[in-house]
Amino acid sequence: MEIASNAQPSGGRNLHRFANPGQFLRLSGRILPFLAVSALVLTGIGVFGGLFMAPADYQQGDAVRIIYIHVPSAWLASSAYMGLAIASLFSLVWRHPLADLAAVEIGPVGAAATALCLATGSLWGKPMWGAWWVWDARLTSVLVLFFLYLGHIGLIRAFDDPQRGYRAGAILALVGVVNLPIIKFSVEWWNSLHQPASITLTGAPTIAGSMLWPLAFCALGFTLGFAAIVTARLRAAVMERRIRALLLARAQEA
């Protein structure tokens, strides 16, 4: 009975397997070049295919080509926030040592993706809708997502005690998850200017294959690029924390 009480559950051991900073730095150092190169190659192929090989839309003309940036950035804005929420959950429930740092580094990258989504959406909306911005359900919910990112970035830095900031930011991130299904289903729940999704899990794509493959390359490239950027930022944060700990130890010994 004593052994069982002191033993850590296998799930906890798996979660903390890469919590050691040295082990994380070694592993991430191996995969980071692959992520970065793959992201550049896939995004380059997708953008080239979208701009020069895919046909123009019969209604929207060449303006439709902005989808090769807008759609992947929209996908990344929501998926990055889900990653932020998962890191926050690991922080609150399992106290994973790297979860707080991961949440700190995901926030600015996700906010940048959301800002790119909003900017490209406005550029696309002007010729299609005749306005840079309309209070459409999808647009408004994505704007709320952007504010959630900004709120998280500001909240984790609003306390003198970093741990209090991490906890407050984690709670905000988890509460904000409710906005993700609103973004996803807003075009179905409310009268929206946005068209329904062209790619779903339950049906065949409604977009032509000549336009689908560049979009898929761009989406995968953006995803790997996000992973590469967050990994690089997290590596820098871990090394910065280790350097501060060494300097503090030397200061105390002096």
**pLDDT for 137:** 87
Report whether pLDDT(241) > 90.
no
**pLDDT for 221:** 97
**pLDDT for 235:** 94
Report whether pLDDT(42) > 50.
yes
Is residue 18 very low, low, confident or very high in pLDDT (cuts 50, 70, 90)? Answer: low
Q: Is 16 part of a structural domain of the chain?
A: no
Q: Is 152 part of a structural domain of the chain?
A: yes
Report whether pLDDT(47) > 80.
yes
Q: Which of 114-118, 158-162, 167-171 has the lowest mean pLDDT?
A: 158-162
Q: Is 171 part of a structural domain of the chain?
A: yes
CA–CA separation, 31 vs 1, rounded Å?
41
Residues spanned by the domain of 227: 32-194+215-249
Domain count, the chain: 1
Task: Kindly report each contact of residues 149-154 with a partner whose C-beta sits within 8 Å and lies 24 or more positions away, as own/partner.
Answer: 149/81, 149/84, 149/107, 149/108, 149/110, 149/111, 149/114, 150/111, 152/84, 152/103, 152/107, 152/176, 153/107, 153/108, 153/111
Tell me which of 3 and 45 has the higher pLDDT: 45
**pLDDT for 208:** 79
CA dihedral defined by 108, 109, 115, 121, rounded to 10 degrees?
A: -160
CA–CA separation, 3 vs 218, rounded Å?
51
Angle between helices 162-175 and 67-89 (to 10 degrees): 120
CA–CA separation, 247 vs 139, rounded Å?
47
Predicted TM-score of the model (pTM): 0.86
How does DSSP classify residue 94? I
Tokens of 160: 């003198």
CA–CA separation, 69 vs 49, rounded Å?
12
For residue range 85-114, list pLDDT tens digits in order.
Answer: 999 999 999 888 789 999 999 999 999 999
Nearest CA to 78 among 138, 15, 34, 155? Answer: 138
**pLDDT for 11:** 46
**pLDDT for 5:** 37
**pLDDT for 16:** 53
**pLDDT for 189:** 75
Mean pLDDT of 140-165: 94
Is residue 84 very low, low, confident or very high in pLDDT (cuts 50, 70, 90)? Answer: very high
Is residue 197 very low, low, confident or very high in pLDDT (cuts 50, 70, 90)? Answer: low
Mean pLDDT of 225-244: 92
**pLDDT for 155:** 95
Q: Is 70 part of a structural domain of the chain?
A: yes
Strand partners, 61: 57
Nearest CA to 69 among 222, 223, 227, 226? Answer: 222
Report whether pLDDT(12) > 50.
no
User: Contact at 8 Å (CB) between 194 and 125?
Assistant: no
CA–CA separation, 225 vs 253, rounded Å?
42
Q: Is 182 part of a structural domain of the chain?
A: yes
Q: Determine the residue type at 163.
A: Q
Q: Is 236 part of a structural domain of the chain?
A: yes
For residue range 127-140, list pLDDT tens digits in order.
Answer: 888 888 888 888 99
Q: Is 226 part of a structural domain of the chain?
A: yes
